[in-house]
Amino acid sequence: MKILLYTDLTIRPDQLFWHRDLGLLTKAFRDLGHEAYLVVHLATEPPPLRTFAPSHIPTSAASNIKHPTSKILEDSVLWPSTSQVRDKEWWKDHHPDLVILGLWTRPKYNPIRRAALSATPHVIERADSDGMRTASCGLLTYAKRRFDYFRDRTFRWPLAFSIFASIFYSFTSILATPWIEYRLRKTLSLLPSIIVETPQATALWKSLARRLGAVPEKIHHVPHPIQTDIFKFDPAIQKKNQIISVGRWDSYQKNYPELLRLLRDFLRREATWSSIVVGTTPPIQPHHPRIRYFPFLSPKHLARLMRESRVFLFSSRYEGCLLAGAEALTAGCSVVGPSGMPSTSYFSEFTRKNQPLKLGKARLSVNNNKRSPPNKEIRLSSLQSCRAAFCFSPISVAKNILKIMSRQESGL
């Protein structure tokens, strides 16, 4: 079966993202024996760093694709122009059996959706969304999401101007709700299937679809894949009293000041714990004896740090799936973060209540169980990480998508 996986990114060949997102899914379909191609646009010059999804591996290593079980040729990328993907003939010339789109359900891409549908009725789009798509999903939460979203993109502007622009963007987004929902209704009517990354976000999407008069049954929960062959629990590695955090710390979204406040407060009270902060250089790096900073690391190096850590801590203002959290979960960490976020609620399904840390109202507190037998948390983490690894494994995600395609064929 021929599968095209398209996202509207403009990148260089040395920046191909085979370690996650649609790149990792392309590899999974190939390992299942399908003729899968990642479809992206070729950049003529290096684009700004922030146009890419967060990455924690060097770009030179990211472009090295291997298929140990696939007999298909290694050339698994198509580089169309932006005009070609809007041309029905381009899609028809490739004769795809299945098209997977990473277009964030934005209505401006409807011409691409129509072009892909002219070549095959089997089109599935990843929403990559926390479910707060319009103000009708929850006015106050939506307003905050819009403010945080735009503030993240204007974070390097002068502070007063960035805050004013973000408030204006949030307010106008609420006023534009009827127009946004009108356009979104058209997009939903075009798409045969939509996959959403967390159960909570999927429920919000289904509810929105009903309000818009769309078919909620076309919306399915399928998580993002992660490299579960690398991020996996190892019972031979002794867990340390160690917290690990990964992110773009120069971003408003990741909320580094709150992360630093939480770590300082917790480490002041717990002398046997330490912390590792991985990612872009944060604006403030305090000389704390038990906080170590690392740049983005290779997957293998990061996985080793996660396997020896007890807790993955994130402080984000908003998240969709939180891939780094999923990686930490499969490595045997407890995932701790702000309550009410779809990713936090999702990860709680894999985390037992008697984990070493909890996140309360803007603070961490220890939950020591003196009566627990030695290494109890490690054994429980092993069981839970096995469930998570199955859920997030690329092959499992690819098979779930093929099941959705089968339902399309049967009319279900």
What is the average per-residue pLDDT within 222-240?
A: 92
Assess whether 264 and 331 both reside in one domain. Answer: yes
Is the residue at 50 inside a domain? Answer: yes
Is the residue at 324 inside a domain? Answer: yes
CA-based Rg of the chain, rounded to a whole angstrom? 22
Is the residue at 233 inside a domain? Answer: no
**106, 99 contact by CB (below 8 A):** no
Give start and end residues of each alpha helix (H) in 255-367: 256-269, 299-308, 323-330, 342-347
pLDDT at 354: 43
φ/ψ of residue 306, rounded to 5: -70, -35
Is the residue at 267 inside a domain? Answer: yes
Is the residue at 235 inside a domain? Answer: no
Q: How far apart are CA 230 and CA 57, in angstroms?
A: 13
Assess whether 71 and 196 both reside in one domain. Answer: yes
Please report the sign of the dihedral spanned by the C-alpha atoms of residue 177, residue 183, residue 189, residue 192.
negative
Residue 411's identity, in one-letter code, is G
Number of H helices, E strands in the chain: 14, 14
What CATH number is given to the structural domain containing 363? 3.40.50.2000
Q: How many domains, in total, are found in the chain?
A: 3
pLDDT at 74: 52
What CATH number is given to the structural domain containing 208? 3.40.50
Is the residue at 264 inside a domain? Answer: yes
Domain extent for 341: 240-392
Q: How confident is the model at residue 178 (pLDDT cuts 50, 70, 90)?
A: very high
How many Cα neighbours within 13 Å face the side chain of 235? 12
**382, 235 contact by CB (below 8 A):** yes
Q: Encode pLDDT of 146-172 as tens digits.
A: 999 999 999 989 999 999 999 999 999
Q: Count the neighbouring beta carbons within 10 Å of the beta carbon of residue 176.
A: 14
Is the residue at 338 inside a domain? Answer: yes
Residue in 322, 329, 319, 323 with CA at minimum distance from that of residue 352: 329
Q: How confident is the model at residue 338 (pLDDT cuts 50, 70, 90)?
A: confident
Assess whether 281 and 213 both reside in one domain. Answer: no
Is the residue at 230 inside a domain? Answer: no
pLDDT at 383: 66
Assess whether 212 and 272 both reside in one domain. Answer: no
Q: How far apart are CA 401 and CA 403, in angstroms?
A: 5
pLDDT at 381: 56
Assess whether 319 and 194 both reside in one domain. Answer: no
Assess whether 260 and 198 both reside in one domain. Answer: no
For the cut 60, the answer to whether the pLDDT of residue 357 exceeds it is no
Q: Encode pLDDT of 83-129 as tens digits.
A: 999 999 999 999 999 999 999 999 999 999 999 999 999 999 999 99
| Cα separation values, 102 from 105, 129, 183, 307, Å | 8, 11, 18, 31
φ/ψ of residue 218, rounded to 5: -80, -5
| Cα separation values, 230 from 84, 296, 299, 310, Å | 36, 16, 7, 17
For the cut 50, the answer to whether the pLDDT of residue 398 exceeds it is yes
Bridge partners (DSSP) listed for residue 291: 275
For the cut 90, the answer to whether the pLDDT of residue 223 exceeds it is yes
For the cut 60, the answer to whether the pLDDT of residue 380 exceeds it is no
Assess whether 244 and 374 both reside in one domain. Answer: yes
Q: How far apart are CA 297 and CA 49, in angstroms?
A: 16
Instruction: Name the residue with higher pLDDT: 238 or 410.
Output: 238
Q: How far apart are CA 88 and CA 53, in angstroms?
A: 28
Bridge partners (DSSP) listed for residue 101: 6, 125
Assess whether 378 and 309 both reside in one domain. Answer: yes
Assess whether 385 and 316 both reside in one domain. Answer: yes
pLDDT at 185: 97
pLDDT at 412: 59
Q: Encode pLDDT of 20-78 as tens digits.
A: 899 999 999 999 999 999 999 998 765 444 433 343 333 333 334 444 444 444 579 99
For the cut 90, the answer to whether the pLDDT of residue 372 exceeds it is no
Assess whether 96 and 45 both reside in one domain. Answer: yes
Residue 267's identity, in one-letter code, is L
pLDDT at 411: 66
Tell me the residue ranges of DSSP E strands in 222-290. 240-247, 274-279
pLDDT at 63: 37
pLDDT at 283: 82
Assess whether 122 and 142 both reside in one domain. Answer: no
Question: What is the edge-to-edge ordering of all strands in the sheet holding 219-221?
Answer: 77-78, 35-42, 2-11, 98-102, 123-126, 193-196, 219-221
**Quick check: helix, strand or coil at residue 310?**
strand
Assess whether 121 and 142 both reside in one domain. Answer: no
For the cut 60, the answer to whether the pLDDT of residue 339 exceeds it is yes
- pLDDT above 90 coverage of the chain, percent: 66
Instruction: Name the residue with higher pLDDT: 241 or 411.
Output: 241
What is the average per-residue pLDDT within 287-315?
A: 93
